[in-house]
A and B are shown apart, each in its own frame.
Chain A
Amino acid sequence: QITLKESGPALVRPTQTVTLTCTFSGFSLRNSGEGVGWIRQSPGKALEWLALIYWDDDRRYSPSLESRLTITKDTSKNHVVLTMTNLDPVDSGTYFCAQRVLMPNGLSIYPHWGPGTLVTVSS
Chain B
Amino acid sequence: DIQMTQSPFSVSASVGDRVTITCRASQGVSNWLAWYQQKPGKAPKLLIYEASTLQSGVPSRFSGSGSGTDFTLTISSLQPEDFATYICQQANTFPFTFGPGTKVDIK
Contact = CB atoms under 8 A, between A and B. Distances in A.
Interface residues of B, number: 24
Interface string B27-68: 000001010000000111110011000011000000000000
Where chain B touches its partner, the secondary structure class is loop
Interface in A68-123: 96, 98, 103, 105, 107-111, 113-116
Interface residues of A, number: 23
Contacts of B32: 107
A37 B42 CA distance: 17
A47 B87 contact: yes
A96 B96 CA distance: 14
A46 B100 contact: yes
B55 A114 contact: no
Contacts of B97: 46, 49
Contacts of A105: 50
B1 interface: yes
A47 B94 contact: no
Most buried by A among B45, B94, B101: B94
A56 interface: no
Contact of A111 (B42, B46, B50, B87): B46
A109 B46 contact: yes
Contacts of A60: 94-95
B43 A49 contact: no
A96 B50 contact: no
Contacts of A115: 42-43
Most buried by A among B4, B46, B96, B100: B96
Nearest to A52: B94
Rank and list the top 10 A-B pairs by shortest CB-CB distance, nearest first. A113-B43, A47-B98, A49-B95, A62-B95, A109-B49, A111-B46, A46-B100, A60-B94, A49-B96, A46-B98
Interface of A: 46-50, 52, 60, 62-64, 96, 98, 103, 105, 107-111, 113-116
